[in-house]
Structure 1
Amino acid sequence: MDSKNTKLPAYSETLPIEGMTCASCVGRVEKALKKVENIEIANVNLATEKAVVYSNQPIQREALVKAVERAGYDVPKAAPVELSIEGMTCASCVARVEKALKKVDGVQQATVNLATEQAWVQADASVNVEDLIRAVKKAGYDAKASEKNQDEQLDKKASELDQLKKDLIISIVLALPVFILEMGSHLIPAFH
């Protein structure tokens, strides 16, 4: 296919997806998304847990969410993020920060208050606070996550780590007897 003639459709939408564990899950989600009206291309990435869909018509996010949920997976709800912004002096600064935040993939809404030097961002759960801070800094202002956001992220990472530890312990408990039976038989010459 000639790359000069390849053109992506005009509209795209990115969705975070939770619950996928294998390539079969990816295929199931892609198939469900392609069944949504006007969707021409659906790409799902297991590693990033995101789906990107393309269409020549405006995309209805709600229809995509329903399709993913019908396939048996979750689309995390938008999580509000609060940032402290430093260096703003006027309404133009506020507009610049809002514009920078809205350019971050997955941000649905951004509101900045000059008086309190705060930004409130409504974004997909897949949006990283560091990406928001980087966008604000690129616009020329200093930003940091509020304490509440940092605590929530730490709690989320801690719960993910706890789940991984539980999975590891279960897999060790189940694999150890098999390992001992298979490898232990080599220690007894009559069985080897």
Structure 2
Amino acid sequence: MKIIVPMAGIGSRLRPHTLTVPKPLTVIAGKPIVQRLVEDIAAVIDEKIDEIAFIIGPAKKGFPANTSEHLLKIAKGLDAKGTVYIQEEALGTAHALFCAKDSLSGPCVVAYADTLFKADFKLDANADGAIWVKKVADPSAFGVVKLENGFIKDFVEKPKDFVSDLAIIGIYYFKDGDKVRDEIQYLIDNNLRENNEYQLTNVLETLKRDG
């Protein structure tokens, strides 16, 4: 099992806290956000974590020179191989994930590093996939899912009209990361953008449609 953590955003809305430290490395109660995130994910996965891949931004966008060293130490603390990739340009959620294409294979959890969660369950690694969601008061600010009999029927990115209050919180499980990688490659090869970005929700929609 792998954990892949896109964390290239600097977190400008959290200034002044992120003037010198990117948001995912901001310390909350003694630990950086990203460390808490991967530890919480590891706690709900009943399998060994083989690799943790981090996607960070370039130094020119405020990531300190010792960022990679710090992240590799976090991975080592979970007895996992650590890998660090750089997203040079912010081109959407799918593009960020594709920066770690060499690690995007087999069973993996993808967790965008602006999420902290607590959950009392164990991940079923035999499922084809899973998406963490949360009920929110204003779904227009999020990507949401529509359910039918407990299964996802549709994905809607920041709906202007109400379709669901189940917001995607940015944590996903994929049994076959290779399929995700190939779908993102298709988006990029064909320049299929939404609001000038490559969106993971488009990849999810294709995976749902193809079963």
Q: TM-score, normalising length from structure 1?
A: 0.30
Q: Tell which has more relative contact order, 1 or 2 (C-alpha 8 A, sep 6+).
A: 2
The structure carrying a bigger helix percent of its residues is: 1
Q: TM-score, normalising length from structure 2?
A: 0.28
